[in-house]
Amino acid sequence: MLEAARSIMGRLRARDAAELAEYGFDHETAAYAFAAPAVLAQVFAGATGPVAVVTFHRLTPKAVVASLMATDAWPQVARAVVRWGVREAKPALLALGYERAECRTLEGHDDAIRLLERLGFVLECRLPRFGASGATFLQYAWRLNDHVSLQSAEGAAAPATAADAGIEAGGGTV
């Protein structure tokens, strides 16, 4: 896992690299953090090797922190990440007794926001001046035992389809 994380960190998408810098982490520290023992972790590979890493680290007995970093080859694995998240990660986390996954992303990181919303994460709050240089972050939560997202229950537009979110193979970056 460490070598895959190092490979990904050395080839990050521009927005992921900017987000990592706002967290105040260098690539090596981030690679170790992603490779640290996790509740659940998965590396997704494409034609060029490791492309994305997803981890869920314990935050509390009922909550985990979700993290993802990817390279520019993201479109090769985007659909697999969504499929894994819905079909495997969510049921596995519920089976382990977790009820919530949190994720923070840089405001304006539209690809990450679309992915989070596609997976069912709900925007909880805006975190002004959260980043190392004062950048604003957004906090999302995946309430694992919710059957209907708050957004849907309040009559908001239906969640985007995979094509709308830019996660069809070759359909753009997420």
Question: Is residue 144 very low, low, confident or very high in pLDDT (cuts 50, 70, 90)?
Answer: confident
The percent of residues above 90 in pLDDT, for the chain, comes to 76
**Residue 174 within a domain:** no
Alpha helices in the chain (DSSP H): 2-9, 14-23, 27-35, 78-84, 90-95, 110-119, 150-153
pLDDT over 70 at 145, yes or no: yes
The confidence score (pLDDT) of residue 146 equals 64
**Residue 173 within a domain:** no
Average pLDDT, the chain: 85
**Residue 123 within a domain:** yes
**Residue 168 within a domain:** no
**Residue 164 within a domain:** no
Q: Per the structure, how many domains does the chain have?
A: 1
Question: Is residue 167 very low, low, confident or very high in pLDDT (cuts 50, 70, 90)?
Answer: very low
Mean pLDDT (whole number) for 24-42? 93
The confidence score (pLDDT) of residue 48 equals 86
Dihedral (CA of 4, 174, 170, 163) sign: positive
Rg (the chain; Cα; Å): 15
Inter-axis angle of helices 27-35 and 14-23, nearest 10: 90
Mean pLDDT (whole number) for 20-33? 94
CA dihedral 12, 15, 20, 23 (to 10 degrees): 180
**Residue 120 within a domain:** yes
* CATH assignment of the domain containing 39: 3.40.630.30
Which burial class, exposed, middle or buried, applies to 117 when counting CB atoms under 10 A from its CB (0-12, 13-18, 19+)? middle
pLDDT over 70 at 172, yes or no: no
The confidence score (pLDDT) of residue 165 equals 38
Residue 106 is encoded by which pair of tokens?
Answer: 């840089």
Mean pLDDT (whole number) for 21-47? 94
Provide the domain limits for residue 44: 2-153
Mean pLDDT (whole number) for 75-83? 93
The confidence score (pLDDT) of residue 163 equals 37
**Residue 166 within a domain:** no
